[in-house]
A and B are shown apart, each in its own frame.
Chain A
Amino acid sequence: MENILSADKIVKFYKTNPALKYMSMNVPKGAIYGLVGKNGAGKTTLIRIVSGLQEPSKGQYTLFGINSDNSRAIRKIRKNMGVMVDSPAVDLDLTARENLMVQYKIIGISDYDTIDGLLKSVGLDAKSKKKVKTFSLGMRQRLGIAMALAGEPEFVILDEPANGIDPQGIIQLRELILRLNREKHTTFLISSHILDELSRVATHYGFVDDGRMVKEITAEELNSYNKKCTRYKLSDIETFERAAKKLELDYKVVSENQADVFGDVKIVDVAVALDKENCNIISATEHNESLEAYYVNLVGGERDA
């Protein structure tokens, strides 16, 4: 598959501190690439370099097939790339609509007809004439995403896009990403700490630790690696454990009233067995722990992604 972005052994030093240590990555065209790693692992530094905000100390990357050494060509190709790094880059003295007009002007688009649709897609259509300084963090984040999506770029980089966004907004954002990926074949590179949310959209993953790419894997490969899991909320966890042992279930108790059951086990079978032991199931949901578990196994240590 053709790569929209390939990084080859990128090294980045801040004074004498290495932030990236021979980082390599490949983002296939049309993918939703999830970048996962601890705080300070080098995700944002990598994004800054790829976005042209910073120069690598060593190494190179190709963007849309153009090598980073060809600075003139790569600069021109950036018009086709939308970026939101770290925090939203918006002028607080302007309204949401004016910010997008400025962004359109930067890209070189003189037709502002699509601005309203863009604002609507991020849920800011009702606030388009309000000054951004009156916006909450979540609303600024939404506007930052709209700015990154301005001009329908082929490649969009979002660094922690769900920061400060309410649950409804996160669902809206997820649907927007999936829709753009499906309909416009937009490639996304998303760095996020919300692994559960990331696992709902990503088609590829890159696991970063201590300035290095530890592993790149597709969502299919990840799913085949991990066991499926159903999370049960129960009335009595001890009774559940007794019943689970009798049924020879592969399970893990996660809290005083919750347990995960791995593998393809019918909920009806579990419910019947628990009923016999006078234990009630309050709820049962498919829980996607696969990404989190994979990450912890890969990187080790605490779950600080």
Chain B
Amino acid sequence: MKLSNHALLAGLGLCSGLLVDAHAGGGEVFCNGGQEVVEAWRNIPAGGLPWTLNTGPVGSRIAPGFEPISCAYALFPSTQITRLPGAQSVARGYRAWENADDRATGTQMTTIDFEAQPTPEGWNYLQPFFVIPSYWVAFGAEKYDGINMVSYWEPPSTFSGYGGPLAVGMTRVKANLTTGDIEEADIAFNALSNSGGAPYWSFLEENTLMNKTYVSQTADLDGGDPFADPILGYADAEGIAVHEFGHFLGLGHSLVEGKSLPSGGTCPTMFVVGHTEDYSGSAWIPDAITVCGGSATQSIDASIPATGGLVGRNLGTLQTDDNSAIGALYPSTGFTSQMGAISGTVLDGQLAGVPGAHVTAIGVSTPQTNRVGVLSMSGGQFSIEGLRPGDYYLMVEAVDEGKMFIGSDVPNYVEPGSSACVFLLPVFATEFWDVNEDVIETATMTASPITVSAGATLTGKDLKVTGANTLLVQLAGANPNTASSRGIRVVPGAGLNPSIEIRLEEQATLGGQTAYLTIVPERANTLVNGELVQTASTSAVPGFPVTLPLSLDASGKASVTIPITDALAHHAFLVQALVIRPNLTLKVSNTLTVFVERP
């Protein structure tokens, strides 16, 4: 736990409680009446964190076990569950976290340890993981049974309300609302079955007991029995299991997006969007696990190439961000003594803390693979742990909601000066820490390396960002769909003299505050010390960025049109409605990117 952060925040009178630095890629944090509470297992028995594989009867519609994940061989005694086909991939899922180590130094990062337990005698198959709400009512099943169960579910309608048949798996984590202690977690895999329970999981396992090698079943992907077409492709059981066990342990989603890096880094296992490995034509990617007997061809959406292949294969190997995150939650001695940390505060132009900013430490020598990210806390504080000794750049960027699962991945924060929990997305230009950090850069960014040493935390590495004296504020609704959002519409222009028109279409109340509209070209194609660190391209746009007072008419609405005078074909703008802090009374707004196209 970050007692230093705890003390700091408590000293500021903002909140109290159990605190850590991380949201994205780290421990989940929830806001509870003025407290920010991290979720983690804190009551792990001496033998390890118990988990149980559901070895329910074949054909059970409610809670099938793991037998049908392969070619339905005899039921093994529950004490040999890890020898069941499919179960080995699950076991690899948690062992990946047990064995999490720094890939460069070999430092073991965590003390987390699992203990497999047999399915209880006479266990009620109705209990483990009920996700169909109406089933809850119909069967009166208990929601929680104290067993951390991994199940394999059919039919796909099990996932009704949670994505339906598109969901390949799901993890449910129950935590104490006051302490954040995780009390139970369950994982369900979607059978993805359509014809007779045929699964479309991909795995390769050696069963020494039966001296057999199991692979997942095959199907004709192109033609033949239409009901045998696994239009979802294949899902890699091990990769999905590693990702789900990350959630099981309390980790949220990571925003470190390796695949957007110039030469293609690797996304963390806990990256927010599941990736599908590419394939072309009938050839699976080289590292794909062999599927039972079949070539694979699939007609894919021509406009969206490189999808429909092996889902989740890349998730099987933990990346630096994953290793650091699990170490921060359950630190080993080696994590504490051999790894380092950087801490500081994200500050705006008025030196107020900026919460919800994504701060990433980027290894100077291996920027593609050595990246660790966190979100700043309510007071703007951040602490990035689990850094192997060496030089790092420190980058802060605004969260792009479009890269998050919309709605629920951005945590709620404690609103400054109150105990209210609000949903915040600060908006500002990407910035790097440098030795002249007091100077806010608007053109070429510079970055100074920070040297991290083993067992030490470099403090005071504050990041000052421009534009963040303004915050986009949305009320935290009980459900994302209840969140308040005022309809700012951005209308792309057309014709020889294009413009963008911004209309505030819902009535707003400024509450006596000064508010602005700002239109900022997206910063990208950015060189830092000569190195390309952002990929998308943009150019300086004459007349932008522009900030205009937000003047409301008598009806509480506003409209403004800004011409675009240069000849470029496309522009991407970030449009913000802003209110000056510290009074976050204006509840706005949508942040939209608009592409202005010339005919």
A and B: partners?
A: no
Q: Which residues of A contact B (CB under 8 A)?
A: none
Q: Which residues of B contact A (CB under 8 A)?
A: none
